[in-house]
Amino acid sequence: MTQKQLLRRDIIKICKKECLRYKLSSNYTSMLLQGGRSLVKFMQEKNANDYTPDVGLEFRIYVHGIRTKKYADEISRVIDMLNSFIDSKLFVFQKQTPKYFPGIFGQYVVEYIEYLKTETNLKMSSIKIYEHSLSMFSQKMHHAGVDLETISLEHLLNFFSSLQNMKQENVKNVKNFLRYMKDHGIIKHDLLLDYIRPTRYIKEKVPSYYAKEEVLQIENSVNRHSTKGKRDYAMLLLASRLGLRSADIRNLKFSDIDWDRNEIHIRQIKTQKEVILPLLEDVGVSLIDYIRNARPQTSLKEIFVSFTPPYRVITSATFSTMVAKYVFKSGIKCDGKHHGSHTLRHSLATNLLGSNVSVPTISSILGHSTTESTKKYLTINLSSLLNCSHDVPSVEDNFYKQEGGVFYV
């Protein structure tokens, strides 16, 4: 066997052992273990039992294609750790994942980056962006076995087809790099330069959303018999049924809930606007189930906390990962769609519109100050607008039950 390797089943065990040995912080350990689990899942889907640096390279390309740069860098950092462990039986820790420029294109990328540093007036921040774009480009070409003679428009279209690589700056940076290679006689294919137009590969940002049935599948994928499931289910319903933002859910306090009136009173963190929402029965029941039967005993004012001491308020990363987990677990088709908590907020707005709820009412539910803000969230068609362009319906006086409401036992 030409490459050193690790068995897939040993990856998580090695990560845990090394994290303990180096006494890493809980956050750093969590990040590495999350990366390790993502890698193991990736290998399972690829039927790869042995980890090698080539498998790591393929995983790195994969996560940069479906995740944001920051998140992908954090997740793929475990690759550098495992590669160093294969070589020396030790983890090597670096604050940032080093840029990797493999293959024949990588050689010219290094030359081009040096050219940008010495012959142009670009800021270092701009050069760093070039390094990231061209690192992913050289890795993709190397992994696909593409060289100077065989590179084609099809290879470039394949590279630009992933979500992260479709960004205009990435297309522009690769285009400038190829122009540099053409000007220096390294490649001859004018077709590549003529047809790489950033606007051709930039997708219009159409917000992702899931249908009512799909949202129910996501909700039903939670195991509500476990303590963690009780917490997660309550948080999911606040996003899917009331459209609350991640920050407002994570910072929801006991004092924000008026059990007598069956209302939630919050000041939105993003807009600082005060919003009053009805405490829907399913939402209220899920909150009570979590508070009574699953929430740890802690003096924190926030409702949702971690399960291991020292107890902390749920972080944004934890919440986003939790939502994504249940989206994938539900089995719904989410190819090309976002799978974070904000997608549930947008799904609520879109599904309300489809049920002929007026845009002003939807704006009120989402806590927007104007309907213009709401329209950015909605995949609106003319027929839906015509159907729901009526006055906001009045709410009857007995809409809310007062003392002895449905949430009192």
CA distance 389 to 141: 51
Distances in Å between the alpha carbon of 346 and those of 104, 157, 182, 332? 44, 30, 45, 17
Determine whether 71 is an active site residue: no
Catalytic residue among 231, 241, 345, 346: 345
- Type and span of the H or E element at 175: helix 168-183
Determine whether 368 is an active site residue: yes
Neighbours of 223 (CB within 10 A): 12
CA distance 165 to 179: 18
Type of residue numbered 137: F
Determine whether 184 is an active site residue: no
Catalytic residue among 132, 167, 342, 346: 342
Contact 143, 181 (CB under 8 A): no
Catalytic residue among 60, 67, 142, 368: 368
Determine whether 245 is an active site residue: yes
Catalytic residue among 270, 273, 376, 401: 270
Determine whether 143 is an active site residue: no
Catalytic residue among 142, 245, 339, 346: 245
In 259-377, where do the E strands start and end? Answer: 263-267, 274-278
Of the candidates 49, 46, 45, the one whose C-alpha atom is nearest the C-alpha of residue 11 is 49
Q: Residues near 345 by Cβ (< 8 Å), separated by ≥ 6?
A: 239, 243, 244, 245, 366, 377
Catalytic residue among 250, 377, 390, 401: 377
Give bridge partners of residue 7 from the DSSP assignment.
50
Determine whether 270 is an active site residue: yes
Contact 351, 211 (CB under 8 A): yes
Q: Residues near 23 by Cβ (< 8 Å), separated by ≥ 6?
A: none
Q: Where in the sequence numbering do the catalytic residues fall?
A: 245, 270, 342, 345, 368, 377
